[in-house]
């Protein structure tokens, strides 16, 4: 065969090899891009809610159900006293939703433009109760017994803890505030009040009914009349500067649905 023929065959083989490598690399690049795209689509969005401590058990239950139905969302909760949570938000804490145990704390954020009023709703209510250790030897049966039969009484700090503020209002309305002031042990939130009663560090405490119901170490001896304190209302809303408006809105709407409300009712909350 001629040299020209061998040269032609050599050029053709080189062309085939180069073309094959090019297609192979292109396929690999496309596969890598597709894999990266799938990974991005599966990446979870973290939605953060600051919520009153009294909501902890109910929201933890709601979290499990919601994440099971919304695989792309991971809920994160920051529980504490509503007043403290409000201050954290004002100081720039990265929060997507706020679930308060007091209207005034929530409304202040609305007035400051942190929450759009149209993106907030009064979701549930609660009752205020007097609790004592389950094995107490003291005959505390009502709020009126506190001045004479209780040594120490636990309340949430009124300025920061809504339950503490409602408790103070009740004791003032019953005209026994001045008589028990020197007996009061203040706590950072309603759960700490409950803990003080459970451990016997105080003789009585004033908490939400929902908190009392989750403990088998305390017993409810009295419920504060609605006329003795401001209405106990829990508003929830979406923050204006949320970085995940779509996901925050979806959870906000879910909380207003039957599934979430039924869970809240199971823990003693009353739907508004």
Paired with 129 in beta bridges are: 207, 223
Phi, psi at 43, each rounded to 5°: -65, 130
Quick one: which of 205, 213, 159 has its CA closest to 184?
205
Assigned domain for 70 exists: yes
Assigned domain for 29 exists: no
pLDDT at 164: 97
Looking up residue 57, the CATH number of its domain turns out to be: 3.40.190.10
pLDDT tens digits for range 42-76: 688 999 999 999 999 999 999 999 999 999 999 99
Q: Are residues 204 and 170 in the same domain?
A: yes
pLDDT tens digits for range 103-136: 999 999 999 999 988 889 999 999 999 999 999 9
Q: Are residues 118 and 244 in the same domain?
A: yes
Phi, psi at 8, each rounded to 5°: -65, -45
Assigned domain for 26 exists: no
pTM of the model: 0.80
Q: Are residues 171 and 213 in the same domain?
A: yes
Q: Are residues 148 and 178 in the same domain?
A: yes
91 versus 40: the higher-pLDDT residue is 91
Question: Which residue range is the domain that position 77 belongs to?
Answer: 45-125+233-271
Assigned domain for 17 exists: no
> How far is Cα 148 from Cα 175, in angstroms, rounded to an integer?
14
Q: Are residues 193 and 257 in the same domain?
A: no
- Per the structure, the count of domains in the chain is 2
Q: Are residues 179 and 146 in the same domain?
A: yes
Dihedral angle computed from the Cα positions of residues 234, 240, 245 and 248, in that order, rounded to the nearest 10 degrees? -10
Confidence of residue 39 (pLDDT cuts 50, 70, 90): very low
Sign of CA dihedral 103, 105, 111, 116: negative
Assigned domain for 9 exists: no
Q: Are residues 195 and 220 in the same domain?
A: yes
Q: Are residues 111 and 169 in the same domain?
A: no
Instruction: Please list the alpha-helical segments (H only) found in the chain.
Output: 3-42, 56-69, 82-90, 103-111, 146-149, 162-173, 177-180, 190-198, 209-213, 245-255, 258-266
7 versus 249: the higher-pLDDT residue is 249
pLDDT tens digits for range 187-226: 999 999 999 999 999 999 999 999 999 999 999 999 999 9
Assigned domain for 164 exists: yes
Question: Rounded to whole angstroms, what are the CA distances from 205 to 14, 55, 189?
Answer: 88, 18, 12
Assigned domain for 258 exists: yes
Average pLDDT over residues 143-159: 97
Based on the number of CB atoms within 10 Å of its own CB, is 83 exposed (0-12), middle (13-18) or buried (19 or more)?
buried
Average pLDDT over residues 247-254: 97
Q: Are residues 200 and 139 in the same domain?
A: yes
Q: Are residues 53 and 186 in the same domain?
A: no
Domain end (from 198, 213, 228): 228
Helix crossing, 82-90 with 103-111: angle to 10°? 10
Q: Are residues 67 and 202 in the same domain?
A: no
Q: Which long-range contacts (CB under 8 A, 24 or more apart) does 241-246 make?
A: 241/114, 242/95, 242/96, 242/97, 243/94, 243/96, 244/45, 244/46, 244/47, 244/96
* Whether the predicted pLDDT of 24 surpasses 60: no
> How far is Cα 205 from Cα 184, in angstroms, rounded to an integer?
9
Q: Are residues 224 and 135 in the same domain?
A: yes
Q: List all residues 6 or more positions away from 2 whose beta carbon is below 8 Å from its beta carbon.
A: none
Confidence of residue 10 (pLDDT cuts 50, 70, 90): low
Assigned domain for 24 exists: no
Question: Rounded to whole angstroms, what are the CA distances from 212 to 57, 76, 86, 192?
Answer: 12, 25, 24, 12
């Amino acid at each position: 065969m001629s040299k020209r023929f061998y040269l032609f065959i050599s050029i053709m083989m080189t062309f085939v090899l180069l073309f094959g490598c090019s297609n192979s690399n292109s396929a690999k690049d496309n596969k890598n891009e597709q894999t990266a795209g799938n990974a991005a689509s599966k990446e979870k969005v973290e939605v953060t809610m600051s919520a009153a401590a009294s909501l902890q058990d109910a929201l933890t239950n709601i979290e499990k159900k919601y994440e099971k139905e919304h695989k792309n969302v991971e809920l994160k909760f920051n529980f504490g006293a509503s007043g403290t949570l409000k201050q954290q938000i004002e100081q720039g804490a990265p929060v997507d939703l706020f679930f308060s145990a007091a209207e005034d704390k929530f409304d202040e954020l609305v007035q400051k433009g942190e929450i759009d009023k149209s993106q907030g709703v009064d979701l549930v209510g609660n009752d205020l109760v007097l609790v004592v250790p389950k094995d107490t030897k003291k005959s505390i049966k009502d709020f009126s017994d506190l001045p004479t039969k209780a040594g120490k009484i636990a309340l949430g700090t009124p300025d920061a803890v809504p339950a503490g503020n409602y408790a103070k209002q009740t004791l003032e309305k019953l005209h026994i505030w001045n008589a028990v002031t020197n007996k009061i042990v203040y706590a950072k939130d309603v759960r700490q009040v409950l803990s003080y009663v459970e451990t016997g560090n105080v003789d009585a405490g004033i908490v939400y009914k929902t908190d009392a119901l989750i403990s088998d170490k305390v017993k409810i001896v009295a419920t504060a009349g609605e006329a003795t304190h401001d209405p106990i209302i829990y508003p929830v809303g979406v923050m204006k500067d949320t970085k995940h408006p779509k996901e925050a809105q979806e959870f906000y709407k879910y909380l207003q649905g039957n599934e979430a409300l039924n869970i809240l009712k199971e823990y003693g909350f009353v739907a508004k």
